[in-house]
Amino acid sequence: MKGDYQDLVDEISALLGAPATLENRDFRLIAFGAHDSDSDGSELVLDPVRTRSILTRQSTAAVRSWFEGFGIARAIGPVRIPAAPEAGVLRGRICLPARHHGIVQGYVWLLDQEPSPDAGALAAAMEVAQRIGVLLAEEARAGAGLSREFLAVLTAGRGRQQDMAVAALRMALGPGEEGLHAAVCVSPWPGEAPASVPGAAAVCVVPRPGAGEEEPGSGARGPDGPAGPGRRSLAVLIRMRGTDPLAPAMTAIARLMPRGAAGPGATASGAAGAAGATAGVSDPVRALAGLPAAWQQAVAAARAAGARPRLGPVAQWSAIGPYRMLASMAEEALDDPAARALLGPAHPELARTAEVFLDCAGQAGRAAAVLGIHRQTLYYRLARVEQLTGLDLDEGEDRLLLHMSLKAARLHGRGQRPAPPE
């Protein structure tokens, strides 16, 4: 399909005697023609907007808004856009909307030049743009089908239903089903799934179980973590390539998370949908039948990133330590009655003291230093913890039970404990 786009873009470039670029309706670059020299032998001057589009394969929201102000989304013929040096547009543009059944699917862009293309050449170029619109619409339908099959795999019950969903996804992916894949979870994701994500084979929005469940990074945050209603998550199926298999996943997350949240290279694209979100990346899997387990890994990693700031905002399943085991257990099994009183809103300092003490492997001096309190104050608080829980902190199994309960509460957003210092 990508080769088809390139051939059509080259055809338009030849018709109009000017290099063309093709972007989808989200202003993501799909193909671009060669940039030849001017007739006098000097190099064709590219303005910052065009250069950025080619190098980063997308335009900024401000650039998109500026161009859309000329009515390109409604146009049925070529649109001339004048130069605007103050906006970084040093040369005028000709936009050819690529439409299908009255809906714009993408845009072919050319730098306006002298002599300007005649009406006959523009009409011929518009016919090619319409063929591009058909291809883009077909690809969008195929992508929607992939998203449905991907969602079915992630939400199907075990057994025959899941086997059938995996078979349907395998067929929809075609040759792309071979090789390694990873699942990415971005949570919360209150909006619709983006039309495209770099490196993604499929994208869908997955409802999270438990309408009242609190999610990492959702809405306002209390001392212990997020507060608010349950959210949906964005699921992304990533094809692994090259010597650094996780690079495509991190690139995709950088496009989905707010600027700076996913590390160097993150952009503002998708930030409105992922504000306050955390992301998790699964281990790669070779067989599509492993995707449900990979999705659970990605969900657990996103939750861990929200529970422990040092892990987030993007966490890999392989790096979340004890949360791998805690996330795989049933939530009701982790709600141990011994810890309920301690996890209530009346005892946030006692709960935090117990968690820091256990994180420090029971070393009183180290725990007191982390908490910034006197050792005798630490002993007093630990005695209160034993009274509330009925547990003996000199016993290894009691320590293990309490530590697991505290970590599980943090993972699932329960309690009002301030996060331990990172």
**Is 144 among the domain residues?**
no
**Is 20 among the domain residues?**
yes
pLDDT exceeds 70 at position 381: yes
Note the pLDDT tens digit of each residue in 92-136. 889 999 998 888 989 999 988 778 888 999 999 999 999 999 888
Over range 346-365, report the average pLDDT: 93
Over range 230-256, report the average pLDDT: 79
Domain count, the chain: 3
Half-sphere exposure of 234 (CA within 13 A, CB side): 30
Same domain? 238 vs 311: yes
Report the distance separating Cα 107 and Cα 27, nearest Å. 8
Whole-prediction pTM value? 0.58
The phi-psi region of residue 135 (left if phi > 0; otherwise alpha if psi is between -120 and 50; otherwise beta) is alpha
Identify the domain boundary among 328, 355, 385. Answer: 328
CA distances, 113 to each of 6, 18, 306 (Å): 22, 8, 52
Predicted pLDDT of residue 171: 83
Same domain? 229 vs 278: yes
Same domain? 199 vs 99: no
Contact in structure between 231 and 188 (CB atoms under 8 Å): yes
Note the pLDDT tens digit of each residue in 317-339. 999 888 888 776 655 546 678 88
Predicted pLDDT of residue 37: 44
Report the distance separating Cα 186 and Cα 277, nearest Å. 6
Note the pLDDT tens digit of each residue in 164-195. 888 888 887 876 667 889 999 998 887 788 87
Across the chain, mean pLDDT equals 78
Same domain? 309 vs 387: no
Residue 347: domain span = 331-411
Note the pLDDT tens digit of each residue in 395-417. 999 998 899 888 888 776 654 44
**DSSP secondary structure, 390-418, as one string:** ---TTSHHHHHHHHHHHHHHHHTT-S-PP
Report the distance separating Cα 246 and Cα 90, nearest Å. 38
Report the distance separating Cα 262 and Cα 322, nearest Å. 23
**Is 81 among the domain residues?**
yes
